[in-house]
Every structure is written in structure tokens, then in C-alpha cells.
A and B are shown apart, each in its own frame.
Chain A
Amino acid sequence: MRRSLTRREILRLGGGALAGAYTFALAGCGAHGGGGSQSASAENYPQQTLNWTIAFGPGGGNDIMSRQLIEILQKNDLYTENIVATNLEGGDGARGWGFLYDQKGNSYHISSTSGSFMTTPLAADTPWGPTSFTPIGMLAIDDTLFIVKEDSPYDSLEEFVAAAKEEPLPIGGIATINIDFIMAELLSQQAGFELKYVAFNDEGEMISALVSEALDMIASNPAEVLGLVESGDAKALAFSGKERMRSLPDVPTLDELGYNIDVNTPRGVVLAPGVNKGVQQWWIDTMKKAIKTPAWRQYLKENDLIEKVLWGAEFEDYLTNTQAKLKRTLKEAGAL
């Protein structure tokens, strides 16, 4: 390198390298959302990057399921273009689904549902409701597990309830007006203790709070906390499913303990509002293939999800009915 470089060479080496990197970036990222007509017809679908909005933080049940589906869609070449997942957590899903609602008619925006997909519109004045979107289908239902820290003085739900009657104990859950809250609220009503509910935006922060003993118990979908229970860092006290969990056969169900709480989280997928029928059908057909893959069967089994499949309009009906039921429960609980 004895001679000094000419200006042209310098440009190529310096700015040129960056500019080159950017042309590449545009080729990869320019697809998301930026203008143009996205209401593609079904024949040539898909042609662009798919934007998967996850309305909750990383590590939660919704996040785990979304990323599992994305992996299945890509590994099996069911979706041949790129898929970009973005966590838009905040406001019990209002942020993420509000974003999806704004992508009207864009067939390259998709999201996965949770309990708050029905409850958040009840609690806040959102412009959208669960039926505002283009439904693809419901894939499974997810139940709730109540866990305490491994060295907690409470070895059973009865012991916890007895202590909570003396002095309110903080119970953590994801979001405010949501399935976790309804669970804890119904439990406190039926057991007769005062509820101190602490809302979290994501599972990681909530688990840190439990491990650091800031919380006494958390209500969570099994997927997020099974690892903690299996590693011995936490004890499971009760499960909300109809039957005991395959992976934790010693944990009693709420029914067995004498409670009657019939609430669960619907795991499904929806497209942005007003996507054309052809693309909707393309997604229903694709998801039918996705749920047959060994990876999805494995996911259901590992996370103790109960398979419940409803497509298109049937899924929409389910959402309407369940929302009405949750609204009644919340009204009775005085939360609305």
C-alpha cells in the first residue's frame, strides 16, 4: 500500500461499500409495506415479504406460537417469500392489533390471536374488534397454570388461598383486562380473598419478578413456565384445563379443587382487515397443511395445548360468542 489511493478508489472503498450494503438492504427490506398495491390476487400470491405482527413481548405464549408457525411455514416452503416478525407489545395487544388494523386490504400483514384479542376492545376504546380482521382460523386453545417460586411457603392452592385471605398477595399476569386477570379474578371471588393483580407486558419481566420474590404467584400459559417448573425453580399449584397436563400429571385441575372457571386462550391467526377472499382461502389451505406437520404436533404436545380447529367464518363466530361470554364475566367481576 505504498502509493496513495485515487479519489475514485477511495470512494469505492469507503462510501461505496456502505452504499452497496444499502442496495442490498433495500432489496431485502423494501418489500415491507412501502406503498404500491398489496391487494394481490391469489394466483400469484405470495410475492412479497410477510409482516407478522406479534402483539406481545418476546417469550410469551403468543410469541412462542407465532415464531413456531413462522418456522414451519419457512422450513416446509409453505410461504416462499421472506417472513419478518415484529413484537409490537403494549396496551394489552392494542398496539400490535391497532397496527394490523391500519394495514387494511394489505395481504402481507398477519397476526396471531390471544385472549386480549377479545378483551382489549372491551376495556379500551379501540377502533377495531375481534371481527374487524380477515379471519384465517383457530388452531388450538391454551389453558392456564398457576405457579409459585420453588422455595415458596405454599405447597398447594389451598395453602395459598388461606394466606391470601389473611393479607392480599400479589399475583402477576400478562396484561390488565385479559384471560390471566379473569382467571385470577374468578379464583379470588370463588375462594373468597382480595385480589392484588399486577399486570406485566411480557413473560420475562414477570418471571424475573416471581424469582426475585416481588410476586407470590403468577398465572401463565404452560408454554412459558413449564421450563421453570421442570428445572425445579418453580412449583405448579393448579391447572385450569379440563384434564390434568400430560407433562405435569401430579398438578390438580381447578375443577378437582372445587372451582368452576371456564376460560381459555384462543390461539389463531388473522390477516389485516378487508383482504380479498382468494388470499384468505390461500391462507386457510396453507394453515391446514401447517398444522399437519410433525413440528406443529410436537409443539402442541410439548406445550400442553388442546387442538381446536375452526376456519374462516366459524372462527369469527367463535370469537363473537366468546367475547360475549368474557364480557359477562368481566361485568360480573366489576372490572368493566
Chain B
Amino acid sequence: MDVFADLIYGFSVALSPVNLLYLAIGVLVGMVVGVMPGLGASAGIAILLPLTFSMDPTSAIVMLAAIYYGAMFGGTITSVLINTPGESSTIASTFDGYPLAQQGRAGPALVLCAVGSFVAGTIGLILLTVLAPAFARLAQSFGPSETFLVVMIGLLTLVVIAGGKWRYGVISALFGFTLATVGVDLGSGDQRYTFGSPELITGINFIPVAIGLFGIGELLYTLHQGEHTEERGFFRVSGRGPELWPKREDWSESGGPMARGSLLGFVVGVIPGAGATVASLMSYSLEKTVSQTPERFGKGALPGLVGPESSNNAASTGSMVPLLTLGIPGSASTAVLLGAFLLWGLQPGPLLMTQNPEFAWGLIGSMYLGNVMLVVLNVFAIPLFANIARIPARIMVPIVIVLCVVGTFSVNGSIIETWIMLGCGVIGFFMKLYGYSPAATVIALVLGPLAEETLRQSLIISGGLSIFYTRSMSLLLLIIIGLLIAAPLALSIYRRRSTRDDR
């Protein structure tokens, strides 16, 4: 068992005192970020990225990844207690979580979520452990043409998920590509759109853009919604006593959703472009479909909470597969992590796992430990984290804005980048307001240069487009792209027909 030996090695890396410390910090920060409405995992990672520059890459990834999956746990708390998702991936958790809290069952609900997240995280990790090396081997048949097509699949998935608003998704992604063209031309060394400004020669850095769009943009949107003026209904959870613990029938009711959510979430997470948010929404509708009592959904059905909760955690684990084996991010958070790989001097791609085993396996090992830490934290410290959600906006918002500005400035000490960040904050607000996708913009910005370079290389190698259909792996990917485009069309035709039948 090669994989087993690698995993043991990973544990030995993750168990070093330094890495354990950073793991604990990451888990805590992830919980805090998850609990704070308006601040998502991607913003949390982007804001804390500058901290990691002088760190060992393994410790850094252990910490940042912990923020990512930690936020999945944390976001649940606010969804259940105050009906406000702390994370976009916990939106589905408000549907049944808040009704449960109203019925005075917040304690058992949160405990089951924590356990479900833990189970899903662990199942996801076992799948990651087994599948990542296999994926990395498969990825060795990936040349420039395949890389280009996978990037396209990722962006298309994002657009397709946007559903009726797919045009907005396309525009958002094209906006990201446009930003990515600024700087030095990859092939000839000529400058593009730099207007002679030395600051722009290095291109538009994704960190200020990510911090602006996700951090400032989300906050402005929260304020616009007037959430700071609302008195939030709040359910106190007691840390001890019998009312915290789920009853036996709660456990048996939650087993199925946990298992289904874990598998569904992992698969969705692996697909580039679809992340935890999609996984949790899909899981919710799956649970509703398979349930014998679908009418209970929305009124406090445990499966409607536990399924999505398990699913978003498994998805955050699954999204590590394309990140580690192909160097292609599946979501906004993993796009920020990918940018971080480059800053730490690591080459993402099929060779990452063999050339930097302490990094890849150390990360995987740390995720097992991080999940254990989180389940313990969540069961015993729920009241503590719940209080963070009660910090008034007039205190929280200024703190986060200061963090965004300081974080951006500390990357390169550049005031221009700080302005870019603030500008993107305003753009991010309007994008959110009108239904555009900031995530598509950031992913396109990070992947733009890669897409451009690999497209050029493909065209030079084959002297035309033939490379995309003469190589079997490329052809397969091309077919997947075809399906991605055809599926929503077919679905909308089907829907139109079924609504006609209803009449």
C-alpha cells in the first residue's frame, strides 16, 4: 500500500509542533471567518495570505486550507441561530436550520451538523487519499491542449451553474480575462495595457482583486441590505445539559443524509468550477427528493440540514483533488490557494505530489487532524463562536475594512494595489447587487495567463486546431465541454415542457 505509507508520512509532517500550531490557528480563524456574515472563506484566505510569505510552504498551506474547511463548520452556526448564512455554502442550512432553532432544538441541530461535517470531511479525505495519486497519474497525459480545455471546463461549469444568469457569468469571466491581459505579453515580452506605469508591468495581482471583490464588496452588500440595522432574532444555545445532545431517532434520521451528502459533495467538489455552495444546494434538493416526508422540509427537517452541511465539507475536500493534481482551482477559495502556491515557489501540476510529497501529503494528513479539532471545537465551543455573530456591524465592518487595506498593502507595499483593491470593492458590490459573479472574475484572472499560454502552445504544436481532436484525452474533454453546453439547453427545454404539462 503505497498510499498508506504516503499518508503515514503525511501525518508525521502534520504532527510536527509548528504545523500543529498553524493548523490550530487556521481552524480557529476559519471558524471566526465562517461565523462572520459577509466575510467568506476566500476573503479570509486572501486577507491572511500576506502573513504566510515568510512561512514554510507546508505550514502555510496547512493553515490556509484549515481556514477553508473551518469556515464550512463556522458558517453553519449563524445559519442555524440567526438565519443569516456566514458563508454562501451554508445558505441551504438556513432552510431547515433556523426552523429547528425556533423549535428550541438548536443544540442537537448544531451537534449533528458538526458530526455530519466531520464524517463528510473524513469520507472526503479517504477518497482524496485514494484518488489523488490516481488523478495525478492520469494528469500526466495532460499537455497544453488538455490544460487549456480543463480551464475552459472550469469556467463553463461556473457559468452553467449560474443558470438563468449565465450571460452574467460569461461577462464576469471575460472581465477577469481582460484584467489578466494587463502586463507583459507571455510570448514576446512586449507590454500590454500598462500605459507606461511601472506598477502595471507585473500585471494586476489577484490578491487585491480577491480581497476587494470578496471582502469589501460583500461587506458593502451586507450594509446595503440593511442587515446592520436589523435586530437579529437570536437563539441561545447552552453548552451543557441534555438539550444539547441529539436523541437516538435524530441520529438514525441523520445517517443517510450524511452518507449521501458526503459522496455527492465530494464528486461536485472534484469538478472544476463547482464548489461547496453548489454541493450544498444540490444535496438539499436530493434529500428533499429521497425523503418520505418532503412536506417537513423548510419546517425543521433534520435531513435538510445535515445533508447540505455534510456536502459542503466533502466538497471543500474534493476541490483539493484538481488543485493538487492539475493545479486548476475549482472555486474562489482554491483559486486564492493556487495563487499562494506560486508565491511560495511551488509548481502546481501533475508533478506536485511526487516532487513535494511533504507539502501534498502533509496537507492531507493535517486535514484529518483539522477535522478532529473542528468537531471538538464545534461541540464544546458553539456558544462562544455564536457570540461573534452578535458583534454589532458598526464595530465589525470597520475592523474588516482596516484588515483588507492593511492586508493588501503588506503584500507588495504598493499603494496602487491598495487603490485597485478598494476599486474592486466597489465593483464587487455592484456585481453582487446585479447578479454578476465575482468568483468567475477571480478564477478567470488567476487562470487567464495559463489559458493564453497553453492555447498558444497548442496552436504552435499542431499548426492549427487539430491537436484538440487528434489527442484522445483532448477529445474526451472536448466532449465534456459539448455536454456542459448542451445540458442546460436540454434542461430548459425539459422544464418548459413540464410547466406546459402542469397547466
Residues of A within 8 A of B (CB): 1-2, 4-5, 7, 10-11, 13-15, 17-19, 21-22, 24-26, 28-30, 32-35, 49, 54, 57-59, 63, 67, 82, 84-88, 90-92, 94-95, 98-99, 102, 120, 123-126, 170, 176-177, 196-205, 207-209, 211-215
Contact = CB atoms under 8 A, between A and B. Distances in A.
| SS of A interface (majority) | mixed
Given A99-B201, A209-B144, A2 B239 contact: yes
A11 B146 contact: no
Nearest to B49: A25
Contacts of A205: 144, 147, 349, 453-454
Contact of A22 (B28, B346, B407, B413): B407
A89 B239 CA distance: 52
A161 to B, nearest CB: 19
10 contacts: A13-B384, A15-B391, A18-B32, A34-B409, A91-B183, A94-B201, A197-B460, A201-B186, A203-B347, A205-B147
A202 B240 CA distance: 56
Contacts of B202: 88, 90, 95, 98-99
B187 A176 contact: yes
A212 B142 contact: yes
Contacts of A7: 391
Interface of B: 25, 28-29, 32, 36, 48, 50-51, 53-54, 139-147, 183-191, 198, 201-203, 236, 238-240, 342-343, 345-351, 355, 381, 383-384, 387-388, 390-391, 395-396, 399, 402-403, 406-407, 409-414, 449, 453-454, 457-458, 460-461, 463, 467, 471, 473
A32 B413 contact: yes
The 4 A-B residue pairs whose C-beta atoms are closest, nearest first, are A214-B143, A34-B413, A91-B184, A124-B189
A18 B399 contact: yes
Contacts of B184: 90-91, 94-95, 98
A5 B188 contact: no
A57 B347 CA distance: 8
Contact of B449 (A90, A120, A197, A212): A90
A87 B189 contact: no
A204 B352 CA distance: 9
A91 B236 CA distance: 58
Contacts of A10: 387-388, 390-391
A29 B198 CA distance: 22
Nearest to A119: B189
A123 B188 contact: yes
Contacts, number: 202
Contact of A4 (B144, B186, B387): B387
Given A11-B395, A88-B202, A214 B145 contact: yes
Given A86-B343, A92-B189, A95-B183, 11 more contacts: A15-B391, A15-B395, A18-B399, A29-B410, A30-B413, A32-B410, A90-B184, A98-B198, A124-B190, A200-B453, A212-B142
A26 B410 contact: yes
Contacts of A95: 183-184, 201-203
B143 A209 contact: yes
Nearest to A205: B349
Select the residue from A82, A125, A204 with max chain B CB neighbours within 10 A. Answer: A204
Contacts of A67: 345
Contacts of A126: 189
Contact of A58 (B143, B342, B461): B342
A17 B35 CA distance: 14
A197 B457 CA distance: 9
Contacts of A30: 410, 413
A200 B456 CA distance: 10
| SS of B interface (majority) | helix
Contacts of B413: 30, 32-35
A197 B345 CA distance: 26
Contact of A25 (B51, B143, B395, B457): B51
Select the residue from A35, A63, A212 with max chain B CB neighbours within 10 A. Answer: A212
A334 to B, nearest CB: 16
Contacts of A88: 202
Given A25-B50, A29-B410, A196-B460, A208 B201 contact: no
Contacts of A200: 453, 457
A84 B53 CA distance: 7
A13 B28 CA distance: 11
Contacts of B50: 25, 29
A34 B406 CA distance: 12
Contact of B351 (A19, A54, A120, A204): A204
A298 B236 CA distance: 63
B51 A24 contact: yes
Contacts of A34: 409-410, 413
Contacts of A19: 399, 402-403
Select the residue from A5, A24, A214 with max chain B CB neighbours within 10 A. Answer: A214
B412 A32 contact: yes
A317 B414 CA distance: 34
Contacts of B191: 94
Contacts of A211: 140-141, 350
Contacts of A82: 54
A2 B240 contact: yes
A127 to B, nearest CB: 9
Contacts of A215: 143, 461
Nearest to A231: B354
Nearest to B473: A212
A208 B189 contact: no
Contact of A91 (B141, B185, B342): B185
A26 B413 CA distance: 11
Contact of B187 (A4, A17, A199): A199
A278 to B, nearest CB: 24
B278 to A, nearest CB: 28
B186 A91 contact: yes
B381 A1 contact: yes
A1 B385 CA distance: 11
A30 B184 CA distance: 27
B201 A98 contact: yes
B418 to A, nearest CB: 11
B458 to A, nearest CB: 8
A98 B191 CA distance: 11
Contacts of B143: 208-209, 212-215
Contact of B347 (A29, A92, A197, A204): A204
Nearest to A29: B410
B403 A22 contact: yes
Contact of B345 (A85, A91, A120, A196): A85
A212 B399 contact: no
A201 B186 CA distance: 8
A242 to B, nearest CB: 30
Select the residue from B28, B183, B188 with max chain A CB neighbours within 10 A. Answer: B188
A9 to B, nearest CB: 8
Contacts of B343: 86-87
A126 B346 CA distance: 28
Contacts of B236: 4
Contacts of A17: 28-29, 32
B188 A124 contact: yes
B37 to A, nearest CB: 12
